[in-house]
Structure 1
């Protein structure tokens, strides 16, 4: 017997932060959204297009991954209007807009209408409303019809880990309580939220309900926090069918959970083993989607699989929606990652890397495949403004070496060559602390598997963070550029003799200081490499244009030669022991990922 089944809700822009980005929801000349009544009011002769990032539906994906073979639009409206059922299909390299059906509606009072889409080959479907008088749109949804035996039970356990970020985690929990858990959909009865409190500062008695649990935890980073959440989910009386891992310092959209749950309920058996990978959008520029699936390339660089997406542009949305082949070393970030319970086992837990790389290794170890959908996303706080040397140089590279050795993943990536290049680059631009952090990463990895078995992540991160550049407001520096983002301008070409001298003298470290240039020049503080700017300078001004902060970098030959010597000794020793070292890590991987190890590490009783 077939049953009407909701796929996703039509969303209005009812979030204060998103008000400036309303084109992610709908396109119109003069949209009037009544925040109090939660409806859209349109005048005569207006057109409003809902074929957008949040209000189109990934039709090809729903048809592929689930039993949603037909599509029905349900709307609650009032007024005289014509509704167009629209969408886009791909022909060769072009996206072609299609109008599948037109329907005139005349409703003196609020009325629900239901329109079925004709058979089609659309990638993405949507709709438009052309008003013939004053019209009101109260809400709506996309639905399908499925057989009852095609629907499965879903018990979704959301695990989020936090460390003294009450400003983020408390509003997120309250929002989910007020929306998803208070709703009439079946997800309200089948969603369980585990808040792992690494800082032990949350008022648990004020937060906890039947469906929300707080677990005080040691500060064991994201890896340890998510592991604790997995263990708690597995031990819960309502056994999970899926575990959803989500960062704490994010802005969430309750609809993302609803769409995730609704997909899982009717997923086809051949796709029930896929991870659902939510997109990460920039909190600072909320229309830009940074990543929905990432990968590591052969040089050991982590990054998004797709080009940057402006979710206000339908061409970008369509490009993002294409089902594309996932390359080797693809992974889902744990800012929003829904994992089938078959993978969340007590003999298959994350590696104890504290932060960075745990999500990459877990995806690769489990040979994960991914589902992405428009509107399943979060906005990440502070992601674009910060470059943290302790994280990017020490934590990332140390952990990548460890996961590569322990799990045998990313074997096509030459991490050591990457590290040596980065050490050289940082020495050339006088970022001696950055070079030292990279050397620390290799040295700590070379201490072997026992180093990672100790719960010392918090201590190490504090220690390494002391080596981050201490930046001050740019107003303190006379050399600060007026146009701060000019530090990312294309670098000028060097003359052949300049390139030669730059390389053989390590940018003046093997050169008389009196022959170096005295003028201080501004340079980018992060990954951006501009050797022409650095050439034969005594001092650079490292600039963070996002935060308008800066720090001087002075040539220090004594520090250079200390690090230069340390690098050679360290890599000479690495070359002698790396085969044995990798074997030891590989032999202890099962121990690292076991329940017995983690319970001891987390200091929790069985």
Structure 2
């Protein structure tokens, strides 16, 4: 079974070392061309093979690197461990016709493996893959849920990319193993009801409402045989290799790994070689990102890239076990913290693997007073449910300081949005769980713009009293409602 393809797309010079080092060109047919004397090395984030992490997740120790090439040159397999590079084996290629060959290797430790190609004359690499002869694998069918709102162009491009993949090509091991369910919160796309692609109209219930409806659709259609549910943003960029590696990991992983989410990393859309985050740690709403802001072109990042552990995975790309989705649905947060609370509720450490990632616009480009409101309210609710809230006086001190900062900056919209977020939190779980989230969102901007200093002062007084008098009752009510 193929577990990892070596890929070398046509990309910019600054991104190249995510894929290979050296000089070579990729043609329109996906063939890599080297001229005489050139050498390329695949000790890179996308193409190095982490045998240690694959062994941890699957228990497999025997692997094979296969390739198709032609020309005159040498293909070598190297082992990279604790800064030392060791030649494992090599093959000489001296044929004008396509040559297929392979190299077996075994790894019971934590080493990385990579290919190196040296061209003595013109040389072409058509394909190279890491695979295993493991006989037992699980039946896998991935239900992909995408929630969208007026991002038709990017979404349709992504759907076409997936539909052109091996998951939709008869005769491949992937065929029929991935279904697409798009929840259109803007109802701007034509509805479609096929097994492989469903587009459903929905009211504007935000990301949490859209993903919830997609999960519900999958739960209702047991005949599809979905084993895992991938939640994915509509405005990301990706390579299909992320899906292929995820599929292999789902098919081969050990029993004790079945209840863990597979986390797709987020790379920056503006600097595509920068990993923004691998997985996340909640830390009482002061979110910590594992692998934060790392330049993944650097060799020194490779030994540690799959080792840092987080608590949950963002929904730009997160694949959950169907058993969990069958029983649990996201909270009606509209947006922000829905992925946090859902991932913490799962309660297992995410699995992350190099090559499973998306490129996405980062947090600083997505700020607004409305977003600030949801950040405040939803983070407090999440802390209450998860039992990680700070004391009432510390909470009051923390937020009054932030409110003072907004006033000093003259940032009144964020000041009022933050107060409204605090106010809606202290008004309790009954109001939160029973409110129409679309109506609430539609009037939120008006609430923020119509708030003045006098109303803000009154809200702060209510917030203070409820925090001091019934903080524990508020927390317990959120926990009870969430059971």
1:59 paired residue number: 51
1:315 correspondence with 2:296: no
Partners of 1:68 and 1:145 within 8 A in 2: no
In the alignment, which of 372, 380, 388 is matched to residue 410 of structure 1?
388
**What are the superposed Cα offsets for residues 144-197 of structure 1, whole Å, 9 maximum, x if unpaired?**
1112xx211112111111111101111111110011333343222111111111
Measure, in 2, the Cα distance between the counterparts of 1:434 and 1:177.
Answer: 42
2:418 paired residue number: 438
Deviation at 1:463, TM superposition (A): 4.2
Partners of 2:396 and 2:464 within 8 A in 1: no
1:344 paired residue number: 325
Residue 363 of structure 1 aligns to a residue whose secondary structure is helix
1:41 paired residue number: 33
Deviation at 1:122, TM superposition (A): 4.2
Deviation at 1:359, TM superposition (A): 0.8
1:581 paired residue number: 474
Distance 1:453 1:297, change over 3 A: closer
**What are the superposed Cα offsets for residues 499-544 of structure 1, whole Å, 9 maximum, x if unpaired?**
xxxxxxxxxxxxxxxxxxxxxxxxxxxxxxxxxxxxxxxxxxxxxx
2:380 paired residue number: 401
Deviation at 1:564, TM superposition (A): 5.6
Measure, in 2, the Cα distance between the counterparts of 1:255 and 1:296.
Answer: 29
Counting only pairs closer than 5 Å after superposition, residues 197-596 of structure 1 correspond to structure 2 as 197-205=184-192, 209-236=194-221, 237-298=223-284, 300-321=285-306, 323-326=307-310, 330-346=311-327, 348-381=328-361, 383-391=363-371, 393-405=372-384, 407-411=385-389, 416-454=396-434, 456-465=436-445, 563=456, 566-590=459-483
Partners of 2:58 and 2:249 within 8 A in 1: yes
Measure, in 1, the Cα distance between the counterparts of 2:131 and 2:38.
Answer: 26
Measure, in 2, the Cα distance between the counterparts of 1:63 and 1:341.
Answer: 24
2:79 paired residue number: 87
Residue 374 of structure 2 aligns to a residue whose secondary structure is helix
In the alignment, which of 99, 120, 127 is matched to residue 111 of structure 1?
99
Residue 102 of structure 1 aligns to a residue whose secondary structure is strand
1:193 correspondence with 2:190: no
Partners of 2:276 and 2:293 within 8 A in 1: yes
Residue 343 of structure 1 aligns to a residue whose secondary structure is helix
In the alignment, which of 64, 68, 72 is matched to residue 72 of structure 1?
64
Measure, in 2, the Cα distance between the counterparts of 1:581 and 1:368.
Answer: 27
**What are the superposed Cα offsets for residues 93-138 of structure 1, whole Å, 9 maximum, x if unpaired?**
xx33333223322222111111123546343211110111110011
In the alignment, which of 3, 25, 29 is matched to residue 7 of structure 1?
3
Partners of 2:146 and 2:182 within 8 A in 1: yes
Distance 1:261 1:431, change over 3 A: same
Measure, in 2, the Cα distance between the counterparts of 1:578 and 1:344.
Answer: 31
Deviation at 1:245, TM superposition (A): 0.6
Measure, in 2, the Cα distance between the counterparts of 1:134 and 1:467.
Answer: 67
Measure, in 1, the Cα distance between the counterparts of 2:213 and 2:414.
Answer: 32
Partners of 1:86 and 1:128 within 8 A in 2: yes
Partners of 1:364 and 1:409 within 8 A in 2: no
Pairs aligned (count) = 478
**What are the superposed Cα offsets for residues 433-471 of structure 1, whole Å, 9 maximum, x if unpaired?**
2121111001111222232234543444454446889xx
Deviation at 1:383, TM superposition (A): 4.2
Structure 2: 5+ residue runs without aligned partners? none
Structure 1: 5+ residue runs without aligned partners? 470-557, 591-606
Residue 348 of structure 2 aligns to a residue whose secondary structure is coil
Partners of 1:247 and 1:334 within 8 A in 2: yes
Distance 1:255 1:575, change over 3 A: same
**What are the superposed Cα offsets for residues 259-283 of structure 1, whole Å, 9 maximum, x if unpaired?**
1011111111121211101101111
Measure, in 2, the Cα distance between the counterparts of 1:34 and 1:19.
Answer: 15
Deviation at 1:284, TM superposition (A): 1.0
Deviation at 1:580, TM superposition (A): 2.1
Partners of 1:400 and 1:415 within 8 A in 2: no
* Structure of higher CA gyration radius: 1
Deviation at 1:588, TM superposition (A): 1.5
Measure, in 2, the Cα distance between the counterparts of 1:386 and 1:468.
Answer: 18
Distance 1:468 1:442, change over 3 A: closer
Partners of 2:191 and 2:199 within 8 A in 1: yes
1:512 paired residue number: none
TM-score (norm 1): 0.74
**What are the superposed Cα offsets for residues 181-223 of structure 1, whole Å, 9 maximum, x if unpaired?**
3334322211111111111111234xx5431111211111111
Measure, in 2, the Cα distance between the counterparts of 1:98 and 1:571.
Answer: 64
Measure, in 2, the Cα distance between the counterparts of 1:27 and 1:221.
Answer: 42
410-419 or 239-248, which moves further after superposition?
410-419
Residue 160 of structure 1 aligns to a residue whose secondary structure is strand
1:164 correspondence with 2:143: no
Measure, in 2, the Cα distance between the counterparts of 1:468 and 1:369.
Answer: 38
Deviation at 1:415, TM superposition (A): 5.3
Residue 331 of structure 1 aligns to a residue whose secondary structure is coil
Measure, in 2, the Cα distance between the counterparts of 1:587 and 1:119.
Answer: 48
Could you say what the CA RMSD is over the residues aligned between the two structures, in angstroms? 2.4
Distance 1:103 1:121, change over 3 A: farther
Measure, in 2, the Cα distance between the counterparts of 1:59 and 1:468.
Answer: 53
Partners of 2:9 and 2:30 within 8 A in 1: no
